[in-house]
Structure formats: structure tokens, C-alpha cells
Amino acid sequence: MKIQLNTDSNVIANEELRAYSNDLLSEELKRFEKQVTRLEIHLSDENGDKEGVNDKRCLIEARFKGRQPIVVTDRAGSHELAIAGAAEKLKASLETILGRMRDH
């Protein structure tokens, strides 16, 4: 499973943020690594330089073998919290989708 991190012009993706997102998603989605070929993480700061509540956004697009991609998003006070929130949403979505695939 390949993990790609993209940011808007208001976010600097330092090594620490890259390592955090890679480690978290690799661990949280380990059981789906055969079905998910690629994850694209898009981080943005919706207020730019201004302060705001829950203005950090993480959108994760998961690409499957032979299926349409799914997208989840989360907003939080920090990018780390937004990534963790989006990872939880993605894990729940993957469990639902792949559970339905097994049932058919």
C-alpha cells in the first residue's frame, strides 16, 4: 500500500508529519493492505495564517483494486488530530465495504 501526502500552500509537510501519517495509517489499516493499493492524504489549513477552531482538514482517498476509490475527511485543531480522525473514518468505511463484498 503506497501512501502519498499532499498539502496546500498553508501547510508545511515536515518529516515528523510525514512519519506520523505513514506510521498511523500503516498501523490502523494493516489488515486492508491487500485490498487498498494507494492512500492519498490531502492536508489543508482552511483559515491560512488566521487562528480558528477545527480549521485543519485531512482528506484521505483510498484506492482499491478493481473498485471506485472512497474518500473520507475530518477537521480538527491540529493536523495530527485530523489525520487520526480521518483514519478512524476510513477504517470504519473499509470494514463496511469489504464486509459487504464478503457477504455477496
Number of domains in the chain: 1
Strand pairing class (56-64; 2-7): unpaired
Half-sphere exposure of 81 (CA within 13 A, CB side): 9
The three-state secondary structure class of 10 is: coil
Measure the CA–CA gap between 99 and 62, rounded to whole angstroms.
Answer: 16
The pLDDT tens digits for 44-81 are 987 766 676 678 999 999 998 778 899 999 999 999 99
**Domain range for residue 37?**
2-103
Query: Residue 44 has what pLDDT?
Result: 92
Rg (CA), the chain: 14
**Torsion 17-21-22-27 (CA) sign:** positive
Supply the CATH number for residue 48's domain: 3.30.160.100
